[in-house]
Structure 1
Amino acid sequence: MSIFKVEVVKINSINPHPNANRLDIASIEGMAYQVIIVKGNFHPGDLVYIRAYNENEAFQKLPPATQIFGEIYGVQDIKYGLNNNNIGIAIFAVRRGSYFLNYSDFVAFCEEFALPRVPVLYIGAYTWEAVSQFNNANSVVSPNCIMEGVIVQPIIEKTHPEIGRVVLKLISDRYLLRKDGTELH
């Protein structure tokens, strides 16, 4: 899965990655930084994530000053049950203006705009034991696939002086250690 944020940007140029033969480096119009992409997936002039935006009418109806964060899946070597170049999207956070929505407001917002949410695996007090039980589990989206990882975030949004917004991702060992993966972690 890939992290998803609706932001339409144009690729100016693509150059080979100097240390990874499966990757390229793309420069983005109007941005001072570059991004790493899978070799051959994009071309200069492409609009990044525009397909996901165009294929989901709900995104086009979101209120101004709204950002959604989630996962696009079906775009890498693990297809999560999708085929024929289909993609899926699952949202895990919404920011309205400068504030992220608390969990109950997030659920209501997603229901109001018919946004697909990531599956909830656990709600309760944070402990390493509670989170690590999912470390090498199979996906609940497609049980024949390995789970990439889990997002850990509080029900009531909060920030921490060292890390900012409190939200973490545990990426599964099986996912990181598999051969010929096409993710960019």
Structure 2
Amino acid sequence: MSQFECPVVRVHIEPHPNADAIEIARVGDFQSIVKKGQFKDGDLAVYLPEASLLPEWMLKELGMWDDLNAKGKLHGKDGNRIKAIKLRGVLSQGITFPVELRGTVSVVHRPATPDHGGDAVVAEGSDVAEFLGVTKYEPIVPANMAGKALGANLDITHKYDFENIKKHPNLFEPGDDVVITEKIHGTLLQVSVVPSSMADERFFGGRVVITSKGLGGRGIILDHNDEGNVYAQAVKKHKILEEALRVLGPLADARDLPMVLFGEVFGAGIQDLSYGAQLDFRAFDISIGVRDAAVFVPHYDFEHLCDSMRVNRVPQIYVGPFDREILLECTDGKTTLAGGHIREGVVVKSRNEDRHPRYGRKIAKSISEAYLLRKNATEFQ
């Protein structure tokens, strides 16, 4: 499960191939450009990831404050949002913030205020986002992705997300049996089919509900009859509610647990990458159960269930033993769908739903450099 955090990490310093005054600080497989000599190899630092919104005091501390315009020098209307950039030909994702060593104690410092102390003692792995006042950027969702709420139920919606493989580079072992699929830049749709024991007259057929990624994470269900939102439009166009009830309904009853189909709604007007003019949907996951107790069906069963529902799946790019070089080759390039534009990236997951002893489900995203650096980007969920 993906979560926003600003962790205290140990950085590994490498020379910049095209500059003398800056260096590369590696955090996992992420790269952050730093001033030469600012960090030594093995130092502790706070990693501020992409999409972080930095407070004014930190922007000033980092020399990223514009006094004339009273705003930051980063991205967004307030100049306080971290985005990926390229510096002298090297991709930089995130910012590294210093951790001070005072004797044998590691400390993160921020200016003291009447409401806030000035220092925090930290250790490797500490999350200091709240202490620093760093939050995650959440774009304003357009009206056609908001929709009318039908109610709330945490038992039949999910908080669905997973990490970038750069954060957990050892998630997969060489040779692991994996499938790599294209990551489509759209908006996530959840279609939940509940068992008869949880039937509700407000649901489609008494048993099927829809929601988005952001709303589903909060347990909010969308009205499937509200055709002003793209999720209701997509399920109607592709007859997803009827097919999900027909195929997944008996399985939900057999287990007396909800089953959830996850997929991407995409097309013109959804995000900045259009994939052609038509509203479309592609499935990428199916789960059984409630929230953290849910399990995901192995890829073969996922394919079979999608075929039974006559639901298209996300494009499959590679199936076979895991190899980091193959993953990187698949990550970049053009979309395999309509539009001919850049590929957002790919998703790699275990075909048999194997689990990592530390990180859990073996699934991760790998994002293309062209996608990270594109102009006029949207990230609605």
TM-score w.r.t. length of structure 2:
0.36
1:95 is matched with 287
Which residue of structure 2 lines up, in the alignment, with residue 122 of structure 1? Answer: 318
SS of 2:379 mapped into structure 1: coil
Q: Which amino acid aligns with 1:156?
A: N
Name the structure 2 match of 1:72: 265
Secondary structure at the residue paired with 1:162?
coil
**C-alpha contact 2:284 2:314 (8 A) present in aligned 1:** yes
Q: Percent identity among equivalent residues? A: 30
Letter of the structure 2 residue corresponding to residue 103 of structure 1: H
Q: Is 1:54–2:236 an aligned residue pair? A: yes
* 1:41 Cα deviation from its structure 2 partner: 4.6
Cα 1:44–1:131 change in 2 (3 A) is closer
Unaligned regions of 5+ residues in structure 2, if any? Answer: 1-52, 54-74, 78-137, 150-221, 223-228, 253-257
Normalising by structure 1, we get a TM-score of 0.71
Please identify, of 152-161 and 113-122, the stretch whose mean Cα deviation from structure 2 is larger: 152-161
Report the Cα distance in structure 1 between the residues aligned to 2:313 and 2:147, rounded to whole angstroms: 32
Query: What corresponds to 1:7 in structure 2?
Result: none
How far the C-alpha of 1:40 sits from its partner, in A, is 5.3
- Whether the aligned pair in 1 keeps the contact of 2:345 and 2:365 (CA below 8 Å) is yes
CA distance in 2: counterparts of 1:57 and 1:143, whole angstroms: 24
- Alpha-carbon distance between aligned partners in 1 of 2:302 and 2:339, rounded to the nearest angstrom: 26
Which residue identity is paired with 1:77?
A: D
2:360 partner amino acid: G
SS of equivalent to 1:61: helix
- Distance in 2 between residues matched to 1:88 and 1:44, nearest whole Å: 18
Aligned length: 153
Cα–Cα, structure 1 residues 42 and 156, in superposed 2: closer, same or farther, change >3 Å? closer
- When residues 44 and 155 of structure 1 are mapped into structure 2, their CA distance, relative to the original with a 3 A threshold, is closer
Query: CA shift at 1:155, angstroms?
Result: 0.9
Task: Give, in whole Å, the separation in 2 of the partners of 1:156 and 1:136.
Answer: 25
Amino acid in the other structure paired with 1:181: A
Instruction: Indicate whether 1:173 and 2:369 are aligned.
Output: yes
CA distance in 2: counterparts of 1:163 and 1:184, whole angstroms: 26
Q: How does 1:112-151 map to 2 (within 5 A)?
A: 112-142=308-338, 144-151=340-347
Equivalents in 1 of 2:370, 2:326: separation in Å? 18
Contact 1:69 1:93 in 2 (8 A): yes
In structure 2, relative to structure 1, the CA distance for the partners of 1:36 and 1:182 (3 Å cut) is: closer
- CA distance in 2 between counterparts of 1:20 and 1:55 reads 36
40 and 100 in structure 1: CA distance in 2 versus 1, 3 angstrom threshold: closer
Please say if residues 38 and 182 of structure 1, whose CA atoms lie closer than 8 Å, have aligned partners that are also in contact: no
Distance 2:344 2:296 in 1: 24
Go from structure 1 to structure 2 and tell me whether the alpha carbon gap of 1:77 and 1:20 turns closer, same or farther (over 3 Å shift).
same
Partner residue, 1:31: none
Structure 1 gaps of 5+ residues are 1-16, 22-34
Counterpart of 1:157 in structure 2 is 353
Measure, in 1, the Cα distance between the counterparts of 2:375 and 2:353: 36
